[in-house]
Structure 1
């Protein structure tokens, strides 16, 4: 942790998202961020270490901006984030027949081909996430839960019936990172596919 003069530690807890193209390959989310960047002139506020290497709208994507963050950082996310699957990977306009509705609402209801597409999404998330170089100032807790707003629920943080990785709850993992109680702050759920956690 970085510390102020009086020994107060600081760090950032990030709910990161892996932003991707749709199953058709269309860059919908990138176009959305391009519009944000154009409207607000955001390029001047984005890290030059990112904008000098790629299209500025890509610098809103966590996989491109996190390597430029110097503050101690703990990333919390799911490899199968439901918002990403429902809005980035398979937006409603690409599913006019509503073939994906049941699968998107309850991951255990997916067909084999849908499961394959979602599993590939998880593989792409892990490639984009990369985890970075192990460090005492970087930590992460990557679940396989098909969920999005999990970070706001107390039960999700503290309850052992919620996601645990190697018998650690999210609260324990974040606490170990913040107070530097262990050397390993990298927690990735070994479950091989998305699952309904609640």
Structure 2
């Protein structure tokens, strides 16, 4: 499950655009906020679908896999649509009401992403334990469970840092940290992918190392 090179590039583009905005080289406008939000929304959607695809490898039922893929995509899309309808008007200072709503909804939707990320990883760990280790007797996958259990805290801490940075005086500064956080999360997924491949090729069926 390699991570396509366009996704780290998307993080870089996002970071550059945010920096140019903070240095006032790019003026605020509808199209600027629309582009920055679209880039961000794609990062979130792609990252969670990587986790979903990793999980779907372990699910034998095609119906369950489809429900998971389209269900997560639908939930994230619905959240993203709400962000478009609130965040852009708030940044354009359409009204004080949009600004006030955005203050709490911006934090809420990022908390939702954190929860979804945590639940998907928990489901992955649970599925590996039940299907491969307990029922399949493949003790070698204990390595994968241990690694995922440990690294998930790093991944979720990135989301927590984004939420925390939203309390800074300039509420756009946290956007600059966003590509850093998602680059870290993408690297975690690449590490997970490499470990899954390595463990799967390991011939030691009952190895617990």
Normalising by structure 2, we get a TM-score of: 0.29
Query: Between Structure 1 and Structure 2, which shows a larger proportion of helix residues?
Result: 2
Normalising by structure 1, we get a TM-score of: 0.30
Greater relative CO, 1 or 2 (CA 8 Å, sep 6+): 2
